[in-house]
Amino acid sequence: MKRKYFGTDGVRGRVGAYPITPDFVLRLGMAAGKVLGKKRGGRVIIGKDTRLSGYMLEAALEAGFSASGMSPVMLGPMPTPAVSYLTRAFRADLGVVISASHNPYFDNGIKFFSAQGTKLPDETEAEIEAVIDGGEIEVCDPSCLGRAYRQDDAPGRYVEFCKSTFGSHLSLDGLKIVLDCANGATYHVAPLVFRELGANVTVIGNHPNGLNINDGVGSTHPEALCDRVLAEKADLGIAFDGDGDRVMLVDADGKVRDGDNVMYIIANDRKAQGKLQGGVVGTLMTNLGLEQALKREGIDFVRSKVGDRYVMETLLEKGWRLGGENSGHVICLDYVSTGDGIVSALQVLKACLRQGKDLRDLSAGLTMYPQDLINVRTNSSFDALSDPKVQKEVKAVEEKLGSRGRVLLRKSGTEPVVRVMVEGEDHGQVHSLAQQLANVIVHESEGEIG
């Protein structure tokens, strides 16, 4: 279903450029309130990450929802999964996060959660868009306006929830952990979770100033964490992204372990405990090595479209409980209804404690295929997925890789970028073929502009 404003993860863009403007976000709040605020006095939970623009967008949303008759509950800076959890805990009608996730500070976005804490289906987003484009949206009667208030104890509630997923009989005593909070929404809650569970915690990326979110830190820039883990001689490192729904791990040797590693460890541990409940859902970007490793362990695996919302849809369709993306979005459906970096990290630590092994040992059975990903900026009207010359080149690359590799092209849902992914056994060949395909896309896109 084609949508005008919503992408793969809500409405997102550069702050000050349409649609990330105060007037549009006000209208977005009014439209969402009209579509989803089915009862008088309905509540909407609103959280945000640490971007400076969050103040402006928060005020616009607050006004829009109040005008629709919904009462906004303001959380302040909170991870995206915390908003999902608190939407369910408070029995609210809707949850909203103001965030652009792993993007730089000058981007921002709005994403919604249903009363069940799940991403809204495409059909509901299309319904909201229809109201936005349908002319003037009436303000409700003055006697029905929503009343906004702040929930000051939200961080403590979420910290206790995260700890509850670890198990009261387990402790992190004796473990030395480095956390990288990306100068984002986990900066005040993640250190509390791991310290209260007994770990010796060192923290980086925990001094947000509104402009430094994801700037050289966090799950998209794990180099700083790798260095700190080695310097501290820590047992492992944990990196979150700006809104806390992604996680990357770093072992004691300074090696990054991505979302595929996280799923491999959790899946094997749960199988050993008899608690896997089906197989694992990955995406088109999931490394071929994970698929083959799970197969050797007798664990079923399927791929969904890219995006944690589609992972979630597939989990629900199959009745399975574990899925995610190599980017670090991992959904443990027995605890959460969206990707949660803190909870996912705790499940890996549980596996380490139960099996008496470290992160490196638990990853030993997973051999990752070399994978090259190139983001190619194109003319916004250029469609690489249907361009004849691009498709001819894709087939040529696939023939060179044979059955021991993959090629994937996909459009970004938030910017005019085509993501080129090539995967195979030989790193040199993979890199060369990915660059070769990217060059064809650039040439074809420039030719269209000319």
Which residues are the active-site residues? 101
Q: Could you tell me the two tokens for 270?
A: 């749960």
Beta carbons of 322 and 270 less than 8 angstroms apart: yes
Beta carbons of 379 and 416 less than 8 angstroms apart: yes
d(CA 405, CA 61): 46
Question: What is the dihedral sign for C-alpha 296, 337, 60, 124?
Answer: positive
d(CA 224, CA 431): 25
Q: What's the full length of the chain, in residues? A: 450
Contacts of 59 (CB under 8 A, 6+ apart): 22
What secondary structure does DSSP assign to 9-27, as a single string?
TBEEEETTSTTSSHHHHHH
Neighbours of 224 (CB within 10 A): 17
117: left (phi over 0), alpha (psi -120 to 50) or beta: left
What secondary structure does DSSP assign to 89-133, as a single string?
HTT-SEEEEE--TTS-TTEEEEEEE-TTSSBPPHHHHHHHHHHHT
Residue among 220, 290, 225 nearest 261 (CA): 290
d(CA 369, CA 287): 7
User: At 374, which helix (H) or strand (E)?
Assistant: strand 371-377
Question: Could you tell me which residues are beta bridge partners of residue 280?
Answer: 301, 322
Q: In terms of DSSP bridges, do strands 149-150 and 71-77 run parallel, antiparallel, or are they unpaired?
A: parallel
The alpha carbons of the chain give a radius of gyration, in whole angstroms, of 22
